[in-house]
Structure 1
Amino acid sequence: MARDALAGYRGIMRPKLTLPPLPLILLLWLAGLGAAGQFAKIAVPFDLVRQLYPDAGAGQGWLLSVISLFGILFGMVAGLLTARYGCRRLLVAGLALGALMSLWQATQPAFALMLASRMIEGLSHLAIVVAAPTLIAQIAPEPLRNFAMTLWSTFFGVAFALVAWIGLPWAQTHGVAGLFLCHGGAMVMLAVAVWRLLPADETADDAENSLRPRDLLARHLSAYGSPRIAAPAAGWLFYTLTFVSLVAILPPLLPENLRATIVGVMPLTSIAVALLVVTPLLRHWPATGVAIAGFGLSALVLSGFWLGVATPVLCVALFATLGLVQGASFAAIPALNTSAQDRALANGALAQMGNLGNTLGTPLLLLVLAAWGTGALLAAVILIYLAGISLHLWLWWRRRRE
């Protein structure tokens, strides 16, 4: 019993820091930008990447999606590895592995080798997106924690914007190999900085984090059966089922003269709301309550389609309300889970469900759009958001019973 109490104390105390918390939080956020860059460096200049492998045909799409496949399969395993070996070790390993893969990709290997490198890069990505937010929650003092987690929630959108504004022109001038070299060099510097500046990991309880298949299955069932560990991931599944897919599907529905502007504004609106609105809301509302409000307002915004609201207004308003879900979902992890081990598992589950949503969302919604049209597409999205609300309320009811 004393041993359990000590383990719990280890999980909630903040490690001894070499720098003030804020610079370390920003360093970890930069690591998140590096992880998101593993998607953006292929997705944003995709036409240039396709020119490298003209004979690959439909297989070219796997260069982007194979990372999500590994997130689906091993998200929770990454959480267990973080709890077993320590956040800093796993984060440095993820950054170093990602750097090696980017530098290798700059040599423009054959398609099969390129695809293999992307599979390995999927493991690197997973290590970063599980370890970094777990460390942020440990390092951030209580008054700074909500801001820190909402800042982390912006890493994907910010990285895509930076690659679109800076990386794409660079790739058009120097080729995608030049973009891969820049990404690899940035990951090397981040790995060194994390290793030198972050505090050493504490010893984990190996027996509690066994990687034997039977124990892995038990930990999956236990984590997803917990209304605290599973809640952020449960809501995140319904968010990711629509976010990336709507970025791809909505632009053709916009007036051509406004299309480029609105597409650029949509994700930036989510980022702005996550940073400027979610943090003050969390002083008065629980994180899951803010996520529920975000889902509800998003469904309400989409209902404006049948009231004749202009499509550009709907798109920007929708992504603004989704910013509530974005920021609150990450903030819910430390709010609901006090131990570092549970936070690592919650981040692993969130990565797993996020990758599942990103993989399934676009083909699902495209199928609805092709079969029944725009109205059915938006109705399906509303149903997804209502399902997210229902699951969050059920998990809240279960936590109240505990």
Structure 2
Amino acid sequence: MKLELGNFYVKDAVFGDETAFKDGILTINKEEALKVAMEDENITEADIVIAKPGDNIRIVPVKEAIEPRFRVSGGPVFPGVTGELLQDGNGKTYALKNSNVLVVGKKWGGFQDGLIDMSGEGAKYTLFSELINICLVADTNEDFEKREQQKKNKALRWAGMRLSEYLGKTVSKLVPEDVECFELHPLTKRTEKEKSLPGVVFVMQPQSQMEEMGYNDLVYGWDANHMLPTFMHPNEVLDGAIISGSFMPCSSKWSTYDFQNYPMIKRLYEEHGKTINFIGVIMSNLNVALEQKERAALFVAQMAKSLGAEAAVVAEEGYGNPDADFIACIVALEDAGVKTIGLTNECTGRDGASQPLVTLDQKANAIVSCGNVSEFIMLPPMETVIGDLEALGRDGLSGGWANDEVLGPSVREDGSIIMENNAMFCGDRVAGWSTKTMVEY
């Protein structure tokens, strides 16, 4: 499979009479764009606000992030979700780089929603402060979700995907500034040099532990809870085959933007044919029952060994219950003779002294930590808030609270904030974006 990703670099985004892209400027007809977003009758009110790097802006509750794209060969950007089911990862797709559609709640948040600051101390915690964000700020008539801790946010998330496809069409007839090419030949048809290098698989564990449908990541529109470990081409991940779910605590989430630009996949591609033979992706799952976790781990190990893998990288979305799947998978791979590195964040408590993962094993001896979800973050007030600042101050949004008996409210009267890292939107960058470092004292 060969994927050509044509890139157009957005230098600025403004509102205007026509939605178009020219000379690095993305112009948006707000009225027309809102009609696209509000095609779902469940959306009762919506607005579009542009937030740029350096702006004195705080955005919360953020529910989803999506890179605007256009599929040159036709069909939806997200097969099985926003349109017909088709094979992706092969052909040409155009992307509006440096830009992003953010889905933001206008009134309510849930524990899987998070915060982004576009400048100041908070900006360093999340990749999305570096992008030009087209914020779809909306509310729905889904009253059953308003005070729920766990929300599906389907109407809002799907509206964000429609908006991203609408913006992606602006470059449909243009020539990209550069083209990234991602190609892996079938295992049996690789060069002798490639075959002589150590075989490496990337094992992804997307959010899939919710037995009720609607909360998990989607694979070609299929709820990942239904899935057994599956071999996938890495191009499928980069080209829209996977959509972020709504369940996972926010700093641990993989947004759809993360899947579209997955850094670990790109890094393995860079080494393919040089230091490694990048075999591909084993898309695993997260489970609830111990037997399910063990079964999935055995499937992953058998698949990796059968494919000829000598080494693996395992990345989990989330923490807590998923830690058991994560460690079980690493142990099963090591038992099969596959040297394995794990990529995760940790939950060591506010004092940093607790056990980092729910379960541990001596064979999991090469773990890359992306930070502590419980780490305290204190942020000054911002001039402008997009969304609903009080969403962070309600019990339910992971990382924020109404009133702590020691710390008081998460949102102070002056608009300043004390929160846990948990509430930073995709803040731990477990997909491979992380800029955090480990320091020994």
**Shorter-chain TM band:** under 0.3
Structure showing the higher strand proportion among its residues: 2
TM superposition score normalised by structure 1? 0.27
TM superposition score normalised by structure 2? 0.25
